[in-house]
Structure 1
Amino acid sequence: MQQSDLSETPARAAARLSVAPMMDWTDRHCRYFHRVMSRHALLYTEMVTAPALVRGGALHLLDYNAEEHPVAVQLGGSDPGELAQATRLCAARGYDEVNLNVGCPSDRVQSGTFGAVLMKSPGLVADCVRAMQDAAGGVEVTVKCRIGVDDQEPGEVLPAFLDTMQAAGVRRMTIHARKAWLKGLSPKENREVPPLDYPLVQAMKRAFPDMHLSINGGIATLDEAEAQLAAGMDGVMIGRAAYHQPAEILLGADARIFGDDAAPMTPEAVARAMLPYIEAHLVAGGRLHEITRHMLGLFAGRPGARIWRRVLSEGAHRPGAGPELLETALAQCLAARAGAPPEGQARSA
């Protein structure tokens, strides 16, 4: 099934700015929190492996809140038939996009013969995406990749990889602008050590004008995101900065990236908006820290951030911790902010 006739789907429009799939971070509670801050950004699940869904029956990994739309699921795998079955499950759950991971460099992922190691097998990736498209029922299938792995020459490998993906019917991709080293570097080092090559990724957009290409890797501010869009990229994906400084990225994104003139929320309003969601989660048997661990950076870079983080970090794991802890953290944060000197002035000794 070719995807060239896809119209401007909600996910494609939202891909102008997306929050990267991040293992152990972008679960459904994190995504709900991010959605409170931005109505338009595209949100991704953590990577879900096709074997876990198809062989393990772990369908709970596909749970999400309806408010998260537009939301995409990222799959990991390398068996076309298994990925097709997993894609069918994802489409049935109503996801707006199914993304194939061809970028994760961890040893655990490599042992399953998927992730970044698949950059070495573009023909297999093409078989996978064709099978996924046939099973997707009209939901767009996309790919997230690196610029190359190990000793590959990115300037040669990346355009050939994109050409293969385009021939397989892929019309939207996200490119992490770093090479991945499959041996010798940890996943964390693979996000930091290999040099970024933004010009190469931008050149791919010029070489493949009919493809929707997003750039990922090292982008930490909306200024940088706007610069990438101005350079011709169709979209920007932000990872760690959106998690650790969510207000800095997401509260301004709707206006600056999507042209939405609605007044953005304040961090204080975001915290209060999370209270009904927290209460419902606790009533359902959940724990407070399962949500608040994603909210620790809400006031990052602002007065009161330290006490907000400390109150939640120390108290949310305790038995019986409830919404009142978040209200306490917010009150102490605001009190600290009220006592802070005006911006640009140092507190007197």
Structure 2
Amino acid sequence: MECTGQNSPQGNHTTLMEFILIGFSDVPNLQGFLFGIFLLIYLFILMGNNLIIMVIKVDPSLQTPMYFFLTNFSLLEIFYVSVTVPRLLLDLCRQYGNISLLACAIQMFLFLILADTECFILTAMAYDRYVAICNPLLYPVIMNDRLCIQLAAVCWTTAIPIHTMFISVLFSSTFCGCNQLNHFFCDAPPVVQLVCGDVFRIKMLLYMISTLVVSIPSFLIVASYVKIISTILKLPSATGRAKAFSTCCSHLTVVTLFFGSGIVVYFKSMTSHFTGVDKFLSLFYTIFIPMLNPIIYCLRNKDVMVALEKFLQKWIFL
């Protein structure tokens, strides 16, 4: 029986020791089909991102800050999908989704950290494009190896203390009553709905963290692209404008897809009851968009395409 999603006041309830991830058990006839689809997507994401990392590593022409951050982004995507998809595949196989509170906390902690890290790395990539297009003569000086490593380190570590605090607050609360999560992984909004008593403090903390993590990177990315587009439009030749804009297309496409889908689903679920529709929408930013990223960065980036062709000719076809 599915939970109503209402927070129960503390009373004569049994304290929960585990959750049940409903996942896609409401469509039992599609379990095998969904397993096959998600497995193929997961393997494609792993192979696509690993291929991008290898191509960048072996091609001397791609040893630039832009592709240093793309390597970080591809590595992040591998970790990001690996937090949720293997567990989803396992639950589809065994047809039940029992998960302990500790395992749920770990999964949520890793997912939130990696999602925030993706926001930060996309912001660093926008800054890199801003410097490359708006200050091309100073680009090698500004985007030196030391700064790139420092930016990457900040991106990978900033979210850790933030979500250590949030996870500590959330999982030190009491869960009681219904233990069913209408989701395929331990995401924050549906778990918060199962906390007993007043959850205003937890919801406000989650809302503030989500707002900061989304609004600050979004503002920096928009500001960067305002300057970038302004600079591109001032270039004298159409060829120069097209070349400059082509270096930003892949990044801008990924930013739009990731931030757009994440904002719609996450903020909608925090302002209302997390529904089955939200669960299906979550597939976009957890699985489908990571699947598109290797395609976007390969097909819309001529440098990567050329390097990929050379890599395949050297290591596979010869």
TM range (shorter): under 0.3
Q: Which structure has more RCO (C-alpha within 8 Å, separation ≥ 6)?
A: 2
TM-score (norm 1): 0.23
| Structure exhibiting the larger radius of gyration computed from Cα positions | 2
In terms of fraction of residues, the more strand-rich structure is: 1
In terms of fraction of residues, the more helix-rich structure is: 2
